[in-house]
Amino acid sequence: MNIMQVMKQAQDLQKKLKKTQEELAKIEVTGEAAGGAVVVTCDGQGKFKSIKLKAEALDPENPQNVDPEIVEMVEDIVATAIMQASLNATKLMEEKMKSVTGGLNIPGLF
């Protein structure tokens, strides 16, 4: 196998990786807890998108007493914390991967 074939295969692989990443970014995946009282949505890459809470998640015994504005506020606070943690983890991963790859950008790694 000559170097041109290897380079062509690497380019083809790079295109496939990029296309797969784009497809995964468009997919929505959900997880539920407490019988559906908490629903978290991520994309196919595992990136957090949203959280939805029912009043039962905050006060299972008296959900009718939970102010809908409180539910929304808690959703916003939790979403902000999750997004911040995810951003911090992504930055850390990129730094660690750059030290391993010597700054070489390898698609699909980060």
Q: Which two tokens stand for residue 74?
A: 């808690």
Q: What is the pLDDT of residues 66-93, one digit of tens each?
A: 999 999 999 999 999 999 999 999 899 8
16 located within any domain: yes
The answer to whether position 110 is within a domain reads: no
The parts of the chain modelled with pLDDT lower than 70 are: 1, 103-110
Strands 38-43 and 48-53, by their bridges, are antiparallel
Domain extent at residue 65:
3-101
CATH number at residue 18: 3.30.1310
- Whether 106 maps to a domain, the answer reads no
Neighbours of 53 (CB within 10 A): 19
According to the model, what pLDDT value does residue 81 have? 97
Please check whether residue 109 lies inside any domain of the structure: no
Residue 41 placed within a domain: yes
In a domain, 107, yes or no: no
Total structural domains within the chain: 1
